[in-house]
Amino acid sequence: MEQFVVTTIRLSAPLIFAGLGGLFSVRAGIFHIGIEGLMLAGAFATVAFGTATGSVWLGILGAIAVNLILSFVYWLLIDRFGADMIISGLGLTTLCVGGAAFLMNALFNKRGSMTSAVRLPQPVVGPQEGLLAFVSELSILAWLLPVFVFIVWLLLRRSRLGLQIAAVGEYPYAAEAAGVDISRTKLIAMLITGLCCALAGAELSVGGLAAFSENMTNGRGFIALAAILFGSLEPIRTTLAGLFFGLADAVGINSQIYAGESNIPRQFILMIPFIATMIFVTLRGAFAHRRHSGG
Amino acid sequence: MKIFTKRIMRLLLLLAVFALAMGLGQAQDDPVRVALVATQAAGDNGPIDGLIAGLDMAAEEYGVETQFLEALDPATFELTLRNLARTGVDIIVSTFYAMGATSWLIAPDFPDTTFITIVGLPSGDEQPDNVQLMEYQFFEGAYVGGVYAAHLTESNQLGYTGGVPLPFAWADFNAFTDGARSINPDIETTAVFIESFEDPVKGRELAAGLYSSGVDFIFTGAAASDIGVVEAASDNDALVMVASAPLVEQAPANVAILVLIEWEKTIMQEIEMALDPETRGGFRYGNVQSGEISFHIPEAFLEATSDERRAKAEASLETIEQLIEDITNGDFVVEEDNQERMAADADGG
């Protein structure tokens, strides 16, 4: 049970960081398909800067810097040059996938994968008794997740910036009439997305692991985007959706381990996370429909 | 004027003969051209890097002219092979099953080109003469790994982390189980699949789950996902068997055995066969017997691990060496079983 909880948190953490980061852009009216690429860039930059400097914190700072630059470029493309946000987002992801592979080879003479010289501290490690067993081997970033969720909630729901972002996304003309600088607000939202994706990438590469490999995000950026949509663009619901996806993955992992040599076909066991997701989506849709019908 | 024309004609004739002679001479001196077409990117610390190294060795050994290409999109496989054959490449070496089927399809159009596929299976009744296929019997290595794991395990619980549940993965897992149970019939084994060959994050979680369930030795065969499995072994002070040498550096105290496919040796042998009309074409297996699957207990492991584990590893050496010798001599045959075993089958065997 303890291992199941730890697995769920570890698999959810990158999704929640990226999902909550992406929420800023999506609420500002930018369907940020480049989250996948920004996560990968964050994962690589953390390992690269961390290995070069010998400090995981400098690694994360480097990753944040890289993602802020990439986010700024993405903003330039769609806001200043009028590029299509979906196509540019895909381009951003492709650039990050290729760029990480290229730089890994050029800077570290490694291809495919590389190990990291640094790793995020884990406040509790090894076998534990009682409640501590539920948080053993979680990185410091995973520990800080509740604080992070609270800050995001505060920013989006209780701050002037959050209201401006929502206004720009939902009623851009009204926001403009009220004196909100739409371009500037979008830029801030996208920079926050970049920052959060850097944390998501860092959690992936130096949270549980101490390594980077090409395509290691493996679609998690898109899952984070799905979590935003399932969470109805709300921070707490997005967090819960991220937790659900992590939980579904953890169920898949544990059902494989504990099904053992049973007579349940392997294909069925591997389908469990997808079946759980479909049930979740259906139930959520049904409840939303009922609530809507009920007025 | 007539004399002048005659002289010009003679000169032209002379030049033509000279050019022809030069041309023929060049044709005779032209080195054999060999192209390696990989269906996954270089830099994998595995098959492709091994094959590239072997290609370079072949260039030196046989004096062939080599080139390397990546064809990562299956939609481009046929076009890539056809274009290479049209440009006069003599031997085209490609990788993995889908390329084998494509080679089989287009080979009759280019009878002078030899199409080699490393890890490919016949895809019809009549194999074209210019198609050369091979497949590894890695499960033999898995069996030996299982025997070794049985010597080192304390919990009598072993695990396997694979990429996706394909027949070869089941063959490896079943052979690993059989090898371990040949030493201790009470050993229990569990197979899990990462469902990706490039997701070290999930690989780590699966391996961590296995270790926390009591498994203390994992055999991993999931390519780039293996990094995560080795990381979990290091975190849990557990053991792992891998198929990629660079992983030893990551956790020297935990990578207890390397079972390697000798890709360099395979491509050298395939090119040598293709160069000789007597041995060109056909299908063969690469295995322990052919020397294309090898075993290494890393020195780094023996240095970094505990005294107890070192003693167990060293005590197993005699059994392992005898087993390898028996397999090599054909005195012992590892059975291939590439189906998932249900509980009833597993109890029986």
Q: How far apart are CA A249 and CA B132, in angstroms?
A: 42
Question: Which residues of chain B make contact with A270, given a CB cutoff of 8 A?
Answer: 165, 193, 195
Contact state of B205 with A250 under an 8 Å Cβ cutoff: yes
Q: Give the pLDDT confidence score for residue B26 in this predicted structure.
A: 44
Average pLDDT per block of 10 residues along chain A, 295 residues long: 86 95 95 94 96 95 97 95 93 94 89 87 79 83 95 94 94 91 95 97 92 88 91 92 90 78 70 79 79 67
Residue B349 has pLDDT above 50, yes or no: no
Q: What type of residue is B223? A: A
Phi/psi for A270 (5° steps) reads -70, -20
Residue with the bigger pLDDT between B110 and B49: it is B110
Question: Which residues of chain B make contact with A200, given a CB cutoff of 8 A?
Answer: none
Q: How far apart are CA A227 and CA A221, in angstroms?
A: 10
Of A1-10, A61-70, B20-29, B193-202, the one with minimum mean pLDDT is B20-29
Of A287-291, B87-91, B182-186, B247-251, the one with minimum mean pLDDT is A287-291
CB-based contact, A11 to chain B, within 8 Å = yes
Which tens digits make up the pLDDT trace of B121-130? 888 888 999 9
Question: Which residues of chain B make contact with A204, given a CB cutoff of 8 A?
Answer: 201
Mind giving me the DSSP string for B274-292? Answer: HHSTTT-SEEEEESTTTT-
Give me the percent of chain B exceeding a pLDDT of 90: 69
Question: Which residues of chain B make contact with A262, given a CB cutoff of 8 A?
Answer: 342-343
Please write down the HEC assignment for all residues of B300-334.
Answer: HHHHHCCHHHHHHHHHHHHHHHHHHHHHHHCCCCC
Give the β-pairing of A211-213 and A113-115.
antiparallel
Question: Which secondary structure element, helix H or strand E, spans residue B20, and what is its range?
Answer: helix B2-29
Q: By C-alpha distance, which of B290, B227, B228 is closest to B263?
A: B290
Question: Which residues of chain B make contact with A112, given a CB cutoff of 8 A?
Answer: 41, 43-45, 224
Q: Which of B44, B206, B343 sits opposite A253 (nearest CB)?
A: B206
Angle of CA points B28, B29, B33, to nearest 5°? 100
Q: Give the pLDDT confidence score for residue B316 in this predicted structure.
A: 93
Task: Give the model's confidence band at B3: pLDDT under 50 very low, under 70 low, under 90 confident, else very high.
Answer: low
The partner residues of B241 in beta bridges, in order of sequence, read B219, B257
CB–CB of B262/B293 below 8 Å? yes
Contact state of A112 with B346 under an 8 Å Cβ cutoff: no
DSSP for residue A178: T
Q: Give the pLDDT confidence score for residue B348 in this predicted structure.
A: 41
Residue B49 has pLDDT above 90, yes or no: no
Q: How far apart are CA A91 and CA B44, in angstroms?
A: 25
Task: Give the model's confidence band at B8: pLDDT under 50 very low, under 70 low, under 90 confident, else very high.
Answer: low
> Helices (DSSP H) in A129-178: which residue ranges?
140-143, 145-158, 160-170, 172-177
Residue B11 has pLDDT above 70, yes or no: no
Q: Which of A105, A137, A256 sits opposite B43 (nearest CB)?
A: A105
Which residue in this structure is represented by tokens 């944390």? Answer: A199
Task: Give the model's confidence band at B1: pLDDT under 50 very low, under 70 low, under 90 confident, else very high.
Answer: low
Q: How far apart are CA B212 and CA B236, in angstroms?
A: 8
Residue B156 has pLDDT above 90, yes or no: yes
User: Which of 211-230 (B) contact A at CB < 8 A?
Assistant: 212-213, 224, 227-228
Q: By C-alpha distance, which of A114, A120, A149 is closest to A12?
A: A149
Region B276-291 average pLDDT: 92
**Closest alpha carbon within chain B to A122:** B235
Query: What's the token pair of residue B214?
Result: 């009591």
Contact state of B41 with A214 under an 8 Å Cβ cutoff: yes
Q: How far apart are CA B64 and CA B55, in angstroms?
A: 9
Residue B5 has pLDDT above 80, yes or no: no
Q: Give the pLDDT confidence score for residue A208 in this predicted structure.
A: 83
CB-based contact, B70 to chain A, within 8 Å = no
Q: Give the pLDDT confidence score for residue B24 in this predicted structure.
A: 46
Q: Give the pLDDT confidence score for residue B347 in this predicted structure.
A: 47
Mind giving me the DSSP string for B28-65? Answer: HHPPPEEEEEESS-S--SSHHHHHHHHHHHHHHHH--E
Q: Give the pLDDT confidence score for residue A293 in this predicted structure.
A: 74
Q: What type of residue is A105? A: N
CB-based contact, B163 to chain A, within 8 Å = no
B interface test, pick of A116, A209, A264 with most B CB neighbours within 10 Å: A209
Q: How far apart are CA A75 and CA B284, in angstroms?
A: 56
Instruction: Provide the mean pLDDT of chain B.
Output: 88
Region B6-11 average pLDDT: 67
Contact state of A215 with B198 under an 8 Å Cβ cutoff: yes
User: Which of 186-205 (B) contact A at CB < 8 A?
Assistant: 188, 190, 192-193, 195-196, 198-202, 204-205
CB–CB of A241/A230 below 8 Å? yes
Q: What type of residue is B60? A: E
Residues near B9 by Cβ (< 8 Å), separated by ≥ 6? none
Q: What type of residue is A211? A: A
Residue B220 has pLDDT above 50, yes or no: yes
